[in-house]
Chain A
Amino acid sequence: DIQMTQSPSSLSASVGDRVTITCRASQSIDGYLNWYQQKPGKAPKLLIYATSTLQSGVPSRFSGSGSGTGFTLTITSLQPEDLATYYCHQSYKIPWTFGQGTKVEIK
């Protein structure tokens, strides 16, 4: 199985800060990398698919980049409503696998 490793596991940042979350795959997954946001007590929500395509309705402060084995999710100006856990997800090879999550807290 392809292992997905996110860093950091958690972070605390202030409103307006730029936040970057990294996701590394144990082998190349081309661009088959997606990002989800899970707010407390809620189901996950798709933010970005295929590395960098923003899902409809997702604020433009979210962006994704990367290739091969290394990918990033960036929030350019953190907002209070971004309090959540973020997961990366590879769809290069079954079984699809997720990173362990990055919990984002607001200072």
Chain B
Amino acid sequence: QVQLVQSGAEVKQPGASVKVSCKASGYTFIDYYIHWVRQAPGQGLEWMGRLNPNRYVTDYAQKFQGRVTMTRDTSINTAYMELSSLRSDDTAIYYCARGHRSLGDWFDPWGQGSLVTVSS
């Protein structure tokens, strides 16, 4: 079955960087976008950006421009999201999701989430 499995929880100090991985299985990795969405504690969902694994093209939300980098390794069907210059308000669960492009963009399935805690 189609599945996205993410890396484990991380604790980082302010100013550091974090890199979250998302391993895909059950489908052809390069055929679908990977999107990254985060959720701060008790809050809603926030789209960060997307990666086209085939063309290696990215689109980032302006809020994260300059701080986020989305990459992939097609040899192991894995996407990565790196966020730098971490602040306390970056504490959140970070989700990857497979993107479908038919009648708009929609996300299915989602990874299980990776908790990133930013604290000194």
Contacts and interface: CB of A to CB of B under 8 A. Distances in A.
Interface of A: 31-34, 36, 43-46, 49-50, 53, 55, 87, 89, 91-92, 94-101
Contact of B104 (A44, A50, A95): A50
A36 B61 CA distance: 20
19 contacts: A31-B103, A31-B104, A32-B103, A36-B107, A43-B95, A43-B113, A44-B37, A45-B108, A49-B100, A49-B102, A50-B102, A50-B103, A53-B103, A55-B108, A91-B106, A95-B47, A98-B46, A98-B47, A101-B45
B28 interface: no
Interface string B42-83: 001111000000000001011100000000000000000000
From A31, A55, A91, residue with most partner B Cβ within 10 Å: A91
A43 B110 contact: yes
Interface string B88-120: 000000010100101111111111110000000
Chain A binding surface SS class: loop
Given A43-B95, A43-B111, A100 B44 contact: yes
Contacts, number: 69
Contact of A34 (B37, B104, B109, B113): B104
A47 B100 CA distance: 14
Given A32-B104, A95-B62, 10 more contacts: A34-B104, A36-B45, A43-B95, A43-B113, A45-B109, A45-B110, A46-B107, A50-B104, A55-B108, A87-B45
Given A31-B104, A32-B103, A91-B104, A96 B47 contact: yes
Contacts of A89: 45, 106-107
Contacts of A97: 47
B103 A87 contact: no
Task: Pick the 6 closest A-B CB pairs, nearest first.
Answer: A50-B103, A32-B104, A91-B105, A46-B108, A49-B106, A91-B104
A95 B105 CA distance: 11
Given A43-B111, A44-B95, A50 B45 contact: no
